[in-house]
Structure 1
């Protein structure tokens, strides 16, 4: 008789968000694999849950080795509950390796749904929710992070990221460089907790805000690229036509960028480059003097 894996979604902040099934499952499990055993104990205490389950640490550093041990327990009929620090296990948290191994062996895998920082931030963002993608944590190294963001520059779906508070500013700066300073974004901090904060603006504005320092758990939600992007050459020509007709450069760039789905800063740079390539035009007075 084989056991089963149960992924247990836990509160991302407020313990009151735990469903009754969370308590029932943790009380009845044979084994609880916890990302942080101390945080698990605190959660159990706050929820008034008593369990006789064997508690094992299960985190990034030991996930591969521990998965093999848990798999052996499952073969013996144990119910193994997997718990991350917050939210749903296996979503940027330990759990995937065990689920994949269990599925491979035909062992049942189920879940107790719970709060999700990804969905909570997305719902609060005010950005389109009909299509979205979750990118987890971006690479820590600047070059790798920039390359990843460059790959996402044309992604039309709203994107959700996790980020460490001390890297939030540099990540937003990188987004400004690769996605455009005017790309809309939201910083969600300490969701469901006492000091919950949701900041909205462009990535450039949010980077300036983050320069003062950010604390707590951070989730970033970033608008997708415009559904249709105009041709830059045509957009440059449209801007120059407006300017030749008397319009100011920056308002003309803003108008054309909005109409053609282009980033203002990119179009502005392209217009300046085009103007620098234009030949100088001189006029002569009737006597031949320039």
Structure 2
């Protein structure tokens, strides 16, 4: 049974309504209050799992009213009520409302309890076959092309696979900006409509992405997760032996970032390459 005066942050399915945990269903069936991004969408999920909302208070909480709704939820928690927060799909506060609510609730001294489940970024990553141990989750790029390209230039030198979310009406332009900024040969995994009827997972280069989409306009519909490979890493053998030795010595005495910074200043080697070498030394 739910704990009184606690906020449960509950992950819900991203497509297939059966992708929800038993714990999530138990919490949603027994809390006093359910805060939802869109109440009608959430009622459909609850009805599918035979969860009655009779006796349960439903509160709308979305990006346009999050602060006001957060105050209302604090009121319920103060009165000893248990509250669950759900968004339309996936894990709340991940490119979705919820972070302000959690911050507000914590600030008033109440417990915040996560109930894990579906997440589109991790779902796509698990089916992409990417072997690198690290990745960067970015989320949604800016809507305007100029700002989008500026952000992509900042990300261009990072050696990690980067995960983006994108809406169907912007995906064509975003892929064009990615190809122009990151390079046509970067590997791309397009994950579309995950866990839904027309789920598609396609691997190609950034240069091949737009022709592939234009060949079938259906592939431009739905919600997208785009996974782009990281920048090529310079072989550590290209780093001078003296720089490698300097880095090794400094790592014994200093935190990793400081050791890399000083080694780069001393040797003139790339900080990015030295950072990767430092990580491998630490491992």
* Equivalent in 197, 200, 206 of residue 197 of structure 1: 200
Cα distance in 1 for residues equivalent to 2:177 and 2:131: 22
* Equivalent in 29, 32, 45 of residue 30 of structure 1: 32
Cα distance in 1 for residues equivalent to 2:92 and 2:36: 9
- Residue 217 of structure 1 corresponds to 223
- Residue 104 of structure 2 corresponds to 101
- Residue 275 of structure 1 corresponds to none
User: Which 4+ stretches in 1 moved above 3 angstroms?
Assistant: none
| Per-residue deviation, residues 242-282 of structure 1 (Å, max 9, x unmatched) | xxxxxxxxxxxxxxxxxxxxxxxxxxxxxxxxxxxxxxxxx
Cα distance in 1 for residues equivalent to 2:4 and 2:106: 12
Answer yes or no: is the 8 Å Cα contact 2:70–2:105 preserved in 1. Answer: no
Cα distance in 2 for residues equivalent to 1:41 and 1:136: 27
- Residue 126 of structure 1 corresponds to 129
Unaligned runs of 5+ in 1: 231-290
| Per-residue deviation, residues 12-33 of structure 1 (Å, max 9, x unmatched) | 1111111111211011111111
Aligned pairs, how many? 230
Q: CA deviation at 1:124?
A: 1.0
Question: Are residues 1:63 and 2:97 paired?
Answer: no
Q: CA deviation at 1:105?
A: 2.4
Answer yes or no: is the 8 Å Cα contact 1:71–1:98 preserved in 2. Answer: no
What TM-score comes out, normalization by structure 1 length?
Answer: 0.76
Cα distance in 2 for residues equivalent to 1:229 and 1:130: 17
Question: Are residues 1:148 and 2:154 paired?
Answer: no
- Residue 247 of structure 1 corresponds to none
| Per-residue deviation, residues 73-104 of structure 1 (Å, max 9, x unmatched) | 22222211110011000111111001111222
Unaligned runs of 5+ in 2: 237-283
- Residue 228 of structure 1 corresponds to 234
Show the 5 A alignment for 1:1-290. 3-51=5-53, 52-211=55-214, 212-213=216-217, 214-228=220-234
Cα distance in 2 for residues equivalent to 1:229 and 1:99: 43
What TM-score comes out, normalization by structure 2 length?
Answer: 0.78
CA RMSD of aligned residues (A): 1.7
Cα distance in 2 for residues equivalent to 1:129 and 1:189: 22
Larger radius of gyration: 1
